[in-house]
């Protein structure tokens, strides 16, 4: 079966939470996510309910789910950050932008082209929000992710920075 890609519904909160916990248990999670499995597990249901609701409508956040039958097999999120706001590392955003975060595919879905389909939907949505670029940050020690993003048209912007996780690279793709 070919997975269906759709925007999250508020009712998906528990399944989306479970997929996030799966992502955070992945061996690459330490260099892929700004969250830990322990912290995420401790969050109350209200956190996950609000997160799903916020990404289910409007033009400030989008979470896409890839669903194969009854199983969620992938997700990406796009956040629109306003000019003058701080990003999740504390740097000031010079102009309104979209950033791709929370990218995850279940192991069985990797290598199937699903990541490309999810990102293309994220690109379309970002373009519809009037944005010209889709950004992402990727850890220098995550070659699997870097290679996937390069195949999908993302290029290094030259902006590199250090975080508690280590060396990060910014990439962007024209919309």
pLDDT, one tens digit per residue, over 99-158 is: 999 999 999 999 999 999 999 999 999 999 999 999 999 999 888 899 999 999 999 999
Supply the range of the domain harboring residue 121. 4-174
Buried b (16+ CB within 10 A) or exposed e, 13-23: bebbbebbebb
Task: Give the pLDDT confidence of 41-52 residue by residue, as tens digits.
Answer: 999 999 999 999
CATH of the domain at 88: 3.40.630.30
What is the spatial distance between Cα 126 and Cα 173, in angstroms, rounded to a whole number? 11
In the chain, the number of structural domains is 1
Q: What is the mean pLDDT of residues 71-91?
A: 91
What is the spatial distance between Cα 91 and Cα 89, in angstroms, rounded to a whole number? 6
Report the pLDDT value the prediction gives residue 13, as an integer from 0 to 100.
98
Residue 88's CB is within 10 A of a number of other CB atoms, namely: 12
């Amino acid at each position: 079966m070919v997975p269906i890609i759709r925007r999250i519904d508020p009712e998906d909160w528990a399944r989306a939470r479970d997929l996030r916990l799966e992502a955070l248990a992945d061996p690459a999670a330490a260099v892929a996510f700004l969250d830990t499995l322990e912290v995420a597990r401790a969050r109350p249901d209200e956190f996950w309910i609000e997160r799903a609701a916020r990404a289910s409508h409007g033009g400030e956040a989008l979470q896409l789910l890839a669903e194969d039958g009854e199983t969620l097999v992938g997700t990406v999120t796009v956040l629109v950050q306003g000019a003058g706001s701080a990003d999740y590392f504390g740097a000031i955003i010079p102009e309104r932008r979209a950033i791709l975060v929370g990218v995850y595919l279940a192991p069985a879905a990797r290598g199937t082209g699903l990541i490309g389909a999810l990102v293309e939907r994220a690109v379309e949505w970002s373009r519809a929000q009037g944005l010209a670029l889709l950004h992402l940050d990727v850890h220098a020690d995550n070659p699997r992710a870097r290679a996937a993003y390069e195949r999908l048209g993302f290029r290094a912007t030259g902006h590199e920075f250090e975080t508690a996780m280590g060396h990060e690279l910014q990439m962007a793709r024209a919309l």
